[in-house]
Amino acid sequence: MKAPAPRSLSKRLFASAAVWSVSILLIAGLILSSLYRRSAEQAFDERLGVYLRAIVADVATPGEDTRTEPGQLGDPQFELSLSGWYWQITPLSQQNAKIKASRSLFAARLPRLETLGVAAQIGEYRRGYATGPDGRVIRIVERVIETDEEGRFLIQVAASTDQLEADIHRFEYSLAATFLLLALALMLSTVAQVRFGLAPLRRLRGEVSAIRRGESDGIEGAFPLDLAPLAGELNLLISSNREIVERARTQVGNLAHALKTPLSVIANEANADASPLAAKMREQADVMRDQVTYYLDRARVAARSNVIGTTTDVAPAIESLIRTFQKIHRDGVPAFEAAITWTPRFRGEAQDFQEMVGNLLDNAGKWAASRVVLTLSLEEGGAGRPDFLILTVDDDGPGLPADLRAQAVKRGRRLDETKPGSGLGLSIVADLAAVHAGEFALEDSPLGGLRARLRLPAA
């Protein structure tokens, strides 16, 4: 399984802020909606309670009839059949006693909350929901009272919840629209906050990038207290790197001087003697001198490649090399061509780049029939990965079989002794490319000959 791609710090901050903001708004919306529903129910119950207390007062008044005529509660909805507003008086002390009800109930009866499992509240009040005679949900408020003359009665007042639910839904829609606008405002403010808060980090990244491109020697400018120590440590790291590289160069030079002097003495003493032993000493001294020169040069290259901020303009270096090889081949055979319309930069020393490209042009010029073409392109890394320069040198010569290409880049290996050279050119290119974390390969050329492909880190 592939590891998940890392997200940027700004995206992480925005995502976390968005999740927390939406969660808090959602919880707050649910709480406010619940509180409003409870408040609306209490107000609705209070309205029903007014009618209930009026009926209770009539029933509890001795010597007077209860209100059975329409309109006596002052609300015409109790008179309209199945209007959704009802009252009902049920005698509990007498068997088969007549139940009195509002005309709006018509021939129907209200259900008792006690049978629906609604517990009694203080003062024997019960409040709850039930299904009305027309199938709609109704809110019922009921109370049991007891009179001295006629005994106990169940007084009920009910009303449809259509208006109550409509009010609650309007509030919830308004609340949702308000919180949605608030969430959008919070998202925009979060984006602005993240961009403002991470601006010093972007500036620090720009400073480090400028150092890598060779445009600056260190991180400059004032940074917030949280980033100032990091900027200081990076400057110290860059200075330490340069000091280490400089010491390495000095030690490499001292080692070269210390080794070459004794080797020269040994070679001079051997030259003064004509014995087979002296000849063998001269041979081995030359081998040692070549090995010391090769590995000391490679150590110098490795030291230069690790210097932070060292970069090279590629176009001028290539143009200079093309002019040089055109002068070497004054007859114009082969013709050296290079068209570079942009300004690439190589992350490394100019001397190393010139040596690699020079060896490739020199090798192609030896084998080309009429043309040597140099091309340059950029391979973008993306997602935090570095960019690379892709340099190719094509010739229209005889080419090289695939099974011999690996031998061609070995140090001192010459596949054709008729051509001038030491056999070190392509091996030097391979070594320098490897030191700079690049790649070197030999391929078939579209011109019919050999293509040398060099992949180097871009600045």
Angle between helices 350-367 and 425-435 (to 10 degrees): 150
Q: Given the structure tokens 């049991």, which residue do they identify?
A: 144
Q: What is the pLDDT of residues 193-246, one digit of tens each?
A: 888 888 888 888 888 877 776 667 778 878 888 778 888 888 888 887 777 777
Topology adopted by domain 12-166: Beta-Lactamase (3.30.450)
Contact assessment for residue 309 and residue 238, using Cβ atoms and an 8 Å cutoff: yes
| pLDDT number for residue 140 | 93
Query: Which pLDDT does position 38 carry in this prediction?
Result: 93
184-201 b/e with 16+ CB inside 10 Å = b? eebeeebeeebeeebebb
Instruction: Please state which of the ranges 52-56, 78-82, 145-149, 343-347 shows the lowest mean pLDDT.
Output: 145-149
CA distances from 134 to 52, 82, 85, 438 (A): 22, 7, 11, 84
- Contact yes or no for 40/167 (Cβ under 8 A): yes
Strands 312-313 and 345-346: antiparallel
What is the rounded distance in angstroms from the CA atom of residue 13 to the CA atom of residue 17? 6
Give me the phi and psi of 126, to 5 degrees please: -130, 140
Helix (H) or strand (E) holding 443: strand 439-444
> In the prediction, which pLDDT does 299 show?
62
SS (H, E, C) 53-94: HHHHHHHHCCCCCCCCCCCCCCCHHHCCCCCCEEEEEEECCC
Task: Decide which of 7 and 455 is more confident.
Answer: 455
- Residue 242 is encoded by which pair of tokens? 């340069």
Confirm if 456 and 389 have CB atoms less than 8 A apart: yes
Give the DSSP letter of residue 101: E
Q: Which residues make beta-bridge pairs with 450?
A: 444
Domain ranges of the chain: 12-166, 237-305, 312-457
Superfamily holding 312-457: Histidine kinase-like ATPase, C-terminal domain (3.30.565.10)
Inter-residue contact 170 to 163 (CB < 8 Å): no
**Residue labelled with tokens 């000095």:** 250
> For the residues of 265-311, what is the DSSP string, one character each?
HHHHHHHT--SHHHHHHHHHHHHHHHHHHHHHHHHHHHHHHT-TT--
374 vs 238: which has the higher pLDDT: 374
Smallest CA-to-CA distance from 159 within 99, 88, 71, 100 is with 88
Evaluate if residue 297 carries a pLDDT over 90: no
> Hey, is 149 helix, strand or coil?
coil
* Residue 302 reports pLDDT greater than 50: yes
Q: Dihedral sign for Cα 251, 257, 258, 263, please.
A: positive
Summarize the confidence of residues 160-178 as an average pLDDT.
93
* pLDDT attached to residue 97: 75
DSSP 104: G
Structure tokens at 347: 């992350």
Determine the Cα–Cα distance for residues 105 and 398; give it in Å rounded to an integer. Answer: 108
At 396 the pLDDT is: 92
163 vs 139: CA distance, rounded Å:
11
Given this chain, do its domains 12-166 and 312-457 carry the same CATH topology? no
Give the tens place of pLDDT for each residue, 38-66.
999 999 999 998 898 888 888 877 555 44
Strand-pair category, 388-395 with 371-379: antiparallel
CB neighbours (10 Å) of residue 393? 25
Question: For residues 364 and 395, is the Cβ–Cβ distance under 8 A?
Answer: yes
- Whether the ω angle into residue 334 lies within 30 degrees of 0, i.e. cis, is yes
Report pLDDT digits (tens) over 136-165: 999 999 998 887 777 888 899 999 999 899
How does residue 11 score in pLDDT terms, banded at 50, 70 and 90?
A: confident
Structure tokens, 306? 């690790």
Euclidean distance between CA atoms 53 and 42, whole angstroms: 16
- In the block, tokens 């009800």 appear at 101
289 burial type by CB count under 10 A (0-12 exposed, 13-18 middle, 19+ buried): middle
Length of the chain: 459
Work out the percent of the chain whose per-residue pLDDT is above 90: 24
What torsion do the CA atoms of 155, 145, 152, 133 make, to the nearest 10 degrees?
10
Q: How far is CA 342 from CA 206, 249, 292, 385, in A?
A: 22, 34, 40, 21
248-271 average pLDDT score: 73
85-91 β-sheet, strand order: 100-101, 85-91, 151-160, 137-147, 125-131
Residue 123 has pLDDT above 70, yes or no: no
**Residue 68's pLDDT is what?**
45
Distance of CA 7 to the CA centre of its chain: 3
Mean pLDDT value across the chain = 81
